[in-house]
Amino acid sequence: MNCSRDVLSQLGALTAMLAALIFATLLYKRKCPMSLSFSSDSLSKLDRMAERYPSKQPLVMPALHMAQKEFGHLSDEALQLVAATLGLPYPHVYGVATFYTMYKREPSGKTTLRVCTNVSCMLRGAYDVLDSLTSKLGVEVGGSTEDFHVVEEECIAKCANAPAILAGTKYFLDLEPKDVDDMLTYLRSNPHPESEVA
Ligand code: FES
């Protein structure tokens, strides 16, 4: 008699746990509908890269770049897509996406201008260049226009030609405040978005 009561109470607990799990899953799906999907080009690039590694972890960064290139920024949904595509936990993908400055979690201008203000650049007038840039664009550091996103960056490996700005894969070197107009004009007709993955 006691034995059957124990079995019944265990069954009851199991059913309650199952119901809670189903409810949590439905709630999660409702909050996070997966309407984004990778292009076939990105998926085949990821497949090719996967052949080089014994696990999926090394693919997180290129997959984030591909998502950023395709969707403009890394929304929660884009991170879920990366996690689901690679079969990795969402917190792992979230951790990588929020650690590196090249990943954008919010929508922003097409070309990110990474203005180095580290020692060599600072000593050669980087803050004057940065001031000229932000005042011409009418934004604060970290802000965006439709075309540009302005970021203050640590050394971008062009100390011999300081001060320097990196836009996508293109460097602007030995800058002075008077060069900012020409740089912006060039980049307006030749945007250099980041996150190009070969
Ligand atoms: S300090 Fe600016 S590029 Fe190195």
Quote the domain boundaries for residue 68.
Answer: 40-99
pLDDT digits (tens, 9 = 90+) for 23-42: 444 444 444 456 899 999 99
Only one residue has tokens 């803050």, namely 127
Instruction: Give the SS3 label for residue 113.
Output: strand
Give how many domains the chain has, as a whole number. Answer: 2
Q: Which residues of 126-143 are buried (b: 16+ CB within 10 A; e: fewer)?
A: beebbebbbeebebeeee
Residue 102's pLDDT is 84
Q: Is residue 6 part of a domain?
A: no
DSSP string, 47-76: HHHHTT-SSSGGGHHHHHHHHHHHHSS--H
My answer on whether 81 and 115 are in the same domain is: no
pTM, 2 dp: 0.69
Give the model's pLDDT for residue 190. 93
**64 within a domain of the structure (yes/no):** yes
The CATH number of whichever domain residue 65 belongs to comes to 1.10.10
Written as six digits, the tokens of 95 are 């951790």
- Domain co-membership, 127 together with 183: yes
Answer whether residue 5 is part of any domain. no
Question: Does 150 lie in the same domain as 82?
Answer: no
Q: Which of 10-14, 84-88, 160-164 has the lowest mean pLDDT?
A: 10-14
Q: Ligand 1: does its nearest atom lie under 6 Å from the Cβ of 158?
A: yes
Q: Nearest 5 degrees, angle CA 66-CA 52-CA 74? A: 20
Mean pLDDT (the chain, rounded): 88
Answer yes or no: do 50 and 119 share one domain: no
For residues 90 and 129, state if they share a domain. Answer: no
Contact by Cβ (8 Å): 62, 49: yes
CA distance 44 to 22: 33
pLDDT digits (tens, 9 = 90+) for 169-186: 899 999 999 999 999 999
C-alpha to C-alpha distance for 146 and 69, rounded to whole angstroms: 16
Probe ligand 1: pick from 159, 165, 173, max atoms within 8 Å of CB? 159
Same domain membership, residue 117 and residue 90: no
CB of 122 within 6 A of ligand 1: the answer is no
Q: Which of 99, 133, 166 is the last residue of a domain?
A: 99
166 touches ligand 1 (CB under 6 Å):
no
**Ligand 1 centroid to 171 CA: how many Å?**
12
Asked if 69 and 130 sit in the same domain, the reply is: no
Residue 197: its pLDDT value, please?
Answer: 61
Q: How far is the CA of 160 from the centre of ligand 1 (A)?
A: 8
Query: For ligand 1, what atom is nearest to the CA of residue 117?
Result: 2
174 in any annotated domain: yes
CA distance linking residue 77 with residue 35, whole number of Å: 8
Q: Are both 171 and 141 inside the same structural domain?
A: yes
Q: Are residues 120 and 185 in the same domain?
A: yes
Bigger pLDDT: 5 or 144? Answer: 144
Pair (85, 140) in one structural domain:
no
